[in-house]
Amino acid sequence: MRAAAVQLNSTADTERNLESADRLTRAAAAGGAELVVLPEKFNVLGGEEQLLAGAEPLDGRSVTWARATARELGIDLVAGSIAERRSDGEKLSNTSVHVGLDGEIRAVYRKIHMFDVVVGGTEYRESATEEAGDEIVLSETAQGLPLGLTIC
């Protein structure tokens, strides 16, 4: 299996991020990738205010794009993670989604371990805006290979 890890410089501009993800995903598939993995928070990245403003549900435009693109290109696509707005809580989830060749969601993983640290006097507290998941998730590619979902 040929896999591609896509890197992009995500910002608070979701439209720009999706355009970059689309271009790079298509290039990876054209290069023979059968599995394409996008980075963490590929749809929106920024401070608390930007994440809250850009978060979307699983049926929002980022996962909808991932589903349509995987189906069109005939690839397994891991939407690295999105800032997910869930209806059952006030906080967001940092959520990874595996989409199969048919465009169907195969697995959903919500980050378990929050990044709460102080580095060089700067405090990072994911738990202030994000709710930890509680489930380890293993999926499977179209070729039957196991695929573990995780977020740094």
Q: Catalytic residue at 152?
A: yes
pLDDT digits (tens, 9 = 90+) for 29-86: 999 999 999 999 999 999 889 999 999 999 999 999 999 999 999 999 999 999 999 8
By residue count, the chain amounts to: 152
Predicted structure pTM score:
0.94
Q: Catalytic residue at 111?
A: yes
N-terminal to C-terminal alpha carbon distance within the chain: 24
Query: How far is Cα of residue 84 from the mean position of the Cα atoms in its chain?
Result: 9
Q: Which of 19, 48, 49, 152 is catalytic?
A: 152
Decide: 98 and 67 in contact? Cβ < 8 Å: no
Q: Which of 84, 111, 126, 131 is catalytic?
A: 111
Decide: 75 and 61 in contact? Cβ < 8 Å: no
Delineate the domains of the chain, giving CATH numbers in brackets: 3-149 (3.60.110.10)
User: For residue 87, what pLDDT is reported?
Assistant: 84
Q: How far apart are CA 52 and CA 94, in angstroms?
A: 12
Q: How far is CA 9 from CA 13, 18, 84, 124, in A?
A: 11, 11, 19, 20
